[in-house]
Structure 1
Amino acid sequence: MIPHLAPTLRGYQRGWLRPDILAGLAAGTVVVPQAMAYATIAGLPVEVGLYTCLAPMVAYALVGGARAVSVSTTSTIAVLVATTLAGLEIGDQDELLGAAFTLTFLVGLCLLAMRLFRLGSLVESISPATLTGVRIGVGLTVAASQLPALLGVAADPDGGGFFATVADAIGRVPDADPATVLVSAAAVGVLLVLRRWAPQVPGPLVVVAGAVVLVATTDVERTVGLIDPVPSGLPGLSLPVPGDAVDLLPGALAIAVMAFLETVLVARTNRRRDEPPIDTDQELLATGIASLAGGLTQTLPPAGGFSQSAVNLRSGARTQLSTVVTAALALLVALLLAPVLDDLPRAVLAAMVLVAILGLLDPRELVVYARIDRAELWVALVVAALGLTGGMLLGVAVGVALTLVLVVRSVNQPRVAPSYDGPPDALSLRLTGGLYTGNARSTHDEALRLVRAADPARVVLDAAAVTRVTIPLIDTVRALRDELAGDGIALTLTGLRPEVLEVLRRSDWFVGAEQAGLLGAR
């Protein structure tokens, strides 16, 4: 099942070592604090995000084929994890963590099952509008969830979704802590300024370091809340909890789909022209193995992240060795620097999350859909609205269903059109594709409409675009021939490929029709 081990390291050149190391360090300064922040979105301790930068990263580096992708976790995955876990009846923190790690393991199994049945191309058929809707829903949901931490107020323990969260936060504005608001504003400002004017500077590292120094040298922690203590050392072994599997499976499937789509999208966006094309089956396998490794080592489900992968590429990463370097940096943080992170304000993590998801909210995509395809616009809006009101799992499920509706609508369109290069004494039509049960009737009806509008003496039907013979194809041609003959109109079939003609001659009706003059040259 594994085609090659460490495929990106084959043919490794000595000149790639330095840029790989520098890129891995640069990406690590972004991905480590960001992954810790994303863990808070999922309602899990920050060290779970840190651990996601260890085993899953190394596992992907050993199997993945995308050279510059940095795999940890994403805001989309974190929101879906939070939504999935919220649907369980969990008694304490240990049960919550056990369910979370079981979910990560199940995501890996779903990805491997998708690889086994070669469903990569099918999953990639999910409408871009669905992904746009998911990004909008996730972005707004995440932004709302960070408001209490940014204001220094208690979050609503009952949750209630996007609108309830925003309303509750607005109602608590008079109780906001001034020091926390200042820290939040400063962190957001620094991150935005560095992103705009100095993108080569690791903004998350700068604000984390600055916040830790601030807490260590002042008494700001008297009002500014800090994160829970981060334990030093490596994560322990976490075994799946079989009793949670059934309840977690729907969420695991949705997360697996999104993890695969995000990873492949990032991989293709960051692929250099001289690099091999992205193999979707290999990415399914690599992401699945990374998620299995994460499920056993206390992590969130992993996926390729846009921001850290962009840093990786911009810093010159040539292979997945850069990801191994990032994992080594995360290991150093886990073993030696965890106590330092105890002085990190929660508001700074919230600021990093807020800035990181701003890129998800791009109204220009909706404008494009409105100009080009209103159906896609409605898909994006419906998915976003359902995600904000009913949860992102519902939004993803409905988005996938709407994608299938759009696909069926597209393939069910008539496959016949006027042709303008046929004989002058006949109506020339052409089949624009193959016929199957879903589009045969509409093709038949459209052909009859075109014929009766022109009222010709004969019709020439060009079938050059047909590459496969189906029973609906034979039935449609037979029905057209019979109906036109009843109106005194002759039908001639032209342009058949030799291999198509060979199969058609296995039909007794076609052989008889051929002898009666069905086939003709233009």
Structure 2
Amino acid sequence: MSWLTPTLRGYHRDWIRYDLLAGVAAGTVVLPQAMAYATIAGLPVQIGLYTCMVPVVVYALLGGSRSASVTTTSTIAVLVATTLAGVDSAPEDLTRDAFTLTCLVGLWLLVMRLFRLGSLVENISPATMTGIKTGVGLTVAAGQLPALLGMREEDTSGFFSAVWSVLRRLSEGDVRTIVISVASIAILLALRRLLPAVPGPLVAVVGGISVIALTDAEQHGVELVPRVPSGLPTLSVPDLGLVGTLMPGALAIAVMAFLETVLVARSNRQRDEPAIDSDQELLAVGCASLAGGLAQSLPPAGGFSQSAVNQRAGARSQVAGLTTAALAVLVALFLGPVLSDLPRAVLAAMVIVAVTGLLSPAEFRTYWAVDRAEFWVAVVTAVLGLTAGLLLAVAVGIGLTFLLVLRHLNRSRVRPLHRRRGGGWTINPPEQPEPSDPHTLLLHLDGGLYTGNARATSDDVLDFVLHTPEVRTVVVEAAAVHGVTMPFLDTVRSLQEDLSRQGVDLMITSLPEPSLKAARAWPWFAEQADAGLVQPTVEDALAAARRRADGDDRPRTGSPFTRDG
């Protein structure tokens, strides 16, 4: 049962007051935000409250992060909305479809855990995440414009159609709603910058409800959120007929929910906390999503803002999460009628302020300066998110990530080896190189070989020989080869045959003992080792090369190696 309550083991009684305060502080931020994110997904605001109950409790029992607050995020809400838009269901069935989707997200996460795919999913590049966050941020912002300006909503899809719909209807804007929106955004930004300890979303919610209670703004066109029913979520039964339709979207949401949760957990981890286990997080978020789907919730994921509040308030364990869940229950039971007086513009303002953290032009500038390939991955992912939809953007972004990984893995693993002043060897060219034997070419093999990089490595060795016409011996230092593969052995044999036809010897040196033992299981390699072409150190290889050269009276004229073409 080591997987159960990992953050509650060794709990100290004096932690309880910190956890209770942190849970309440996080709740004052996360409850209004979760309600706002529910509107992004096109669902009633109470679904946001429900997402702060069962999923939070399940993660608190299974999650490995002490201070992560796992409810839902703007990214997940947008992906839910995008997925549900492709379902041909009646409007009254939307919530059932959403809960089915949440269950499928949980199932995908548990399948990933079953096959231990946590470390694989984590390889998705930061550039892909930047592009997705940009697409999400701009799409969410555009979708909130009608609520901010007091306009009726039109059925639009995508960033550009949403912006165009608002621009051509600017005259329909309501002045009172705009004033509430501007005031809410100003309060949220000011408190975030000047008084970060004050829960800005709670202040905005109280302020918006007070405006409705004390003025006649509602009678003059300020739209309120739909009525929030009092009570707790009931059991929801997934619609198995939608499984095929929702599966692709559920997979994309599962990947993003896992990535966001792990990123939050690792960024909030303290030095004295255990390392975050990606497979444990897959189990925790998967079970939280599956349970949440049965209890009328959005797919859960770790959120940076509420987790930061949790940590600043001194959270010591997931008792803080349990406190947040208890607060959500109290709000759902007793404050539903009060929340029904909340202007939609306040929720829209909270969403706008929350998603501004997703937009980071500086990241694009960094990619441009450091790695243009990563820059274009971020741009393509962002553009697809704004035009073709975020589900396609996630799929393409993940595909491009693995193309970048393959590009890196398929690069040649060989580079020149230089003598270091004072002794030893280095792959960094020294400012004042030591004199070297012109008849010996020293190369370093930077890791093992497999099918993708074997040919590139072999070609590079041959190119080095081609541009070193005096060479008689190629010494390949293989200390970094910690696993022998057949591509490695095939490459060594192919190189030995190509070079020997040109009168050049190939020596392998510094192969780690386990790798050497495995390689000698191949009779051909054992013969080469017995012939002295496999040496324990570079110095031994150089000495062996000199001995072979002294006894070698073969005529050598011109370049010892030529390549066709």
TM bucket normalised to smaller: over 0.9
Q: Which residue of 1 aligns with 2:428?
A: none
CA-to-partner distance for each residue in 1:10-66, whole Å, 9 max, x for gaps? 111122111110000000000000000000000000011110000000010011110
Q: CA deviation at 1:464?
A: 1.2
Distance (Å, rounded) in 1 between the aligned partners of 2:267 and 2:401? 22
Q: Which residue of 1 aligns with 2:502?
A: 487
Q: Which residue of 2 aligns with 1:417?
A: 415
Q: CA deviation at 1:503?
A: 1.2
Q: CA deviation at 1:325?
A: 0.5
Secondary structure class of the residue paired with 2:454: helix
CA-to-partner distance for each residue in 1:177-209, whole Å, 9 max, x for gaps? 001111111101111111111111101100101
Corresponding position: 1:231 with 2:229: yes
Please, which moves more after superposition, 248-257 or 467-476? Answer: 467-476
Written as runs of structure 1 = structure 2, the 5 A alignment for 1:266-415 is: 266-415=264-413
Written as runs of structure 1 = structure 2, the 5 A alignment for 1:445-484 is: 445-455=459-469, 456-484=471-499
Q: Which residue of 2 aligns with 1:174?
A: 171
Q: CA deviation at 1:160?
A: 2.8
Q: Which residue of 2 aligns with 1:22?
A: 21
Q: Which residue of 2 aligns with 1:219?
A: 216
Report the residue type matching 1:43 in the other structure: G
Corresponding position: 1:86 with 2:85: yes
Q: Which residue of 2 aligns with 1:499?
A: 514
Q: Which residue of 2 aligns with 1:189?
A: 186
Q: CA deviation at 1:514?
A: 2.6
Corresponding position: 1:142 with 2:140: yes
Distance (Å, rounded) in 2 between the aligned partners of 1:161 and 1:304? 25
In the alignment of these two chains, the number of paired residues is 519
Q: Is residue 106–residue 287 contact of structure 2 (8 Å, CA) maintained in 1?
A: yes
Q: Which residue of 1 aligns with 2:551?
A: none
Q: Is residue 225–residue 342 contact of structure 2 (8 Å, CA) maintained in 1?
A: yes
Secondary structure class of the residue paired with 1:4: coil
> Which of 441, 447, 467 in structure 2 is aligned with 1:433?
447
Distance (Å, rounded) in 2 between the aligned partners of 1:453 and 1:91? 71
Secondary structure class of the residue paired with 1:21: helix
CA-to-partner distance for each residue in 1:138-178, whole Å, 9 max, x for gaps? 00000000000001011222x13100100111111111000
Distance (Å, rounded) in 2 between the aligned partners of 1:438 and 1:309? 42
Q: Which residue of 2 aligns with 1:32?
A: 31
Secondary structure class of the residue paired with 2:48: helix
C-alpha RMSD of matched pairs (Å): 1.0
Q: CA deviation at 1:507?
A: 1.1
> Which of 131, 147, 164 in structure 1 is aligned with 2:161?
164
Report the residue type matching 2:517 in the other structure: E
Secondary structure class of the residue paired with 1:7: coil
> Which of 105, 108, 111 in structure 1 is aligned with 2:109?
111
- Which protein shows a greater Rg? 2
Secondary structure class of the residue paired with 1:130: helix
Higher relative contact order (CA 8 A, sep 6+): 1
- Runs of at least 4 residues of structure 1 off by over 6 A? none
Q: CA deviation at 1:3?
A: 3.1
Q: CA deviation at 1:110?
A: 0.5
Distance (Å, rounded) in 1 between the aligned partners of 2:91 and 2:410? 51
Q: Which residue of 2 aligns with 1:76?
A: 75
Distance (Å, rounded) in 2 between the aligned partners of 1:430 and 1:187? 61
Distance (Å, rounded) in 2 between the aligned partners of 1:480 and 1:429? 13
Report the residue type matching 2:407 in the other structure: R
Q: CA deviation at 1:217?
A: 1.4
Distance (Å, rounded) in 2 between the aligned partners of 1:287 and 1:89? 28
Q: CA deviation at 1:511?
A: 2.2
Distance (Å, rounded) in 2 between the aligned partners of 1:161 and 1:92? 20
CA-to-partner distance for each residue in 1:317-375, whole Å, 9 max, x for gaps? 00000011111111000000011011000001000000011111111111111111111
Q: Is residue 56–residue 325 contact of structure 2 (8 Å, CA) maintained in 1?
A: yes
CA-to-partner distance for each residue in 1:420-477, whole Å, 9 max, x for gaps? 1377351101111101111111100000000110121211111111111111111111
Distance (Å, rounded) in 1 between the aligned partners of 2:315 and 2:512? 49
Which one has a larger percent helix, Structure 1 or Structure 2? 1
Written as runs of structure 1 = structure 2, the 5 A alignment for 1:228-267 is: 228-267=226-265
Distance (Å, rounded) in 2 between the aligned partners of 1:323 and 1:461? 56
Q: CA deviation at 1:9?
A: 1.1
Q: CA deviation at 1:517?
A: 3.1
Report the residue type matching 1:40 in the other structure: T
Report the residue type matching 1:39 in the other structure: A
Q: CA deviation at 1:502?
A: 1.2
TM score, norm. by length of structure 1: 0.98
Distance (Å, rounded) in 1 between the aligned partners of 2:6 and 2:413? 43
Provide structure 1 residue ranges, at least 5 long, that are not aligned to the other structure: none
Report the residue type matching 1:451 in the other structure: V
Q: CA deviation at 1:92?
A: 2.6
Written as runs of structure 1 = structure 2, the 5 A alignment for 1:38-49 is: 38-49=37-48
Q: Which residue of 2 aligns with 1:207?
A: 204
CA-to-partner distance for each residue in 1:283-304, whole Å, 9 max, x for gaps? 1100011001110000100000
Secondary structure class of the residue paired with 1:454: coil
Report the residue type matching 1:207 in the other structure: A
Q: CA deviation at 1:88?
A: 0.8
Distance (Å, rounded) in 2 between the aligned partners of 1:212 and 1:310? 26
Q: CA deviation at 1:4?
A: 2.9
Distance (Å, rounded) in 1 between the aligned partners of 2:27 and 2:530? 73
Q: Which residue of 1 aligns with 2:560?
A: none
Q: Is residue 72–residue 301 contact of structure 2 (8 Å, CA) maintained in 1?
A: yes
Q: Is residue 3–residue 280 contact of structure 2 (8 Å, CA) maintained in 1?
A: no
